A and B are shown apart, each in its own frame.
Chain A
Amino acid sequence: DADVTQTPRNRITKTGKRIMLECSQTKGHDRMYWYRQDPGLGLRLIYYSFDVKDINKGEISDGYSVSRQAQAKFSLSLESAIPNQTALYFCATSGAGADTEAFFGQGTRLTVV
């Protein structure tokens, strides 16, 4: 099984709909992240959480919200999806130190029509 699992892997949704992307990890790490990947823009941080009680906005949090249901689970919600939120979304987890690498999920390709 993958260390970080994202569901769904692909999703097409309509403008204005609410959608939730789910992420679970088996690494036992406290830190979890949501990134968005767009062509030419690399990976941009949406939200991050350093433990269950800690949630922080990243550089592009507008239009998104998150929930850290447990150490292993971190979900991302789009309350009212819009077409420019069409992107590839990645969940990641990492260990306690800045020297640890991030482990990424397989990604969720979201299309908002």
Chain B
Amino acid sequence: AQKVTQAQTEISVVEKEDVTLDCVYETRDTTYYLFWYKQPPSGELVFLIRRNSFDEQNEISGRYSWNFQKSTSSFNFTITASQVVDSAVYFCALSEAFTSGTYKYIFGTGTRLKVLA
């Protein structure tokens, strides 16, 4: 069965520190997609990144980077030089396509990141 585990419930760091948010997934399929979303204090969910199971290249976008390792079923998210505005709940999610053409998203329980000034 599909499952996404975010073992870190809450992380606190001081501004300018680097921080890594862990995401471990379980799936039996060979084709699947992984996502990260950010939920700032205002409550909306903001899409950050998508990665497919055939692309293990790491990705960097400004201070954000993502490390996808199929060998450990992990899709970790690192924020470099964290800022107070990074304070949010971050969700990792998995989707896989079924032969019927349907799919569902499975979300992890989220990691609350607090960046202290």
Q: A residues bordering B, Cβ < 8 Å? A: 33, 35, 40-45, 48, 50, 58, 88, 90, 92, 94, 97-99, 101-107, 109
With A43-B91, A90-B45, A107-B44 known to touch, is A99 a contact of B50 (CB < 8 Å)? yes
How many pairs of A and B residues are in contact by the CB < 8 Å rule? 55
User: B79-117 CB contact bits vs A (8 Å, 1 = yes)?
Assistant: 000000000000101011100001111011110000000
- Interface size on B, as a range, is 20 to 34
Looking at the complex, which one of A33, A42, A103, A106 makes contact with B109 (CB distance below 8 Å)? A42
Looking at the complex, which one of B32, B44, B102, B105 makes contact with A102 (CB distance below 8 Å)? B105
Interface of A is mostly: strand
When the two chains form their complex, are residues A106 and B43 in contact, meaning their CB atoms are under 8 A apart?
yes
B64 at interface by CB-CB < 8 Å: no
When the two chains form their complex, are residues A104 and B45 in contact, meaning their CB atoms are under 8 A apart?
yes
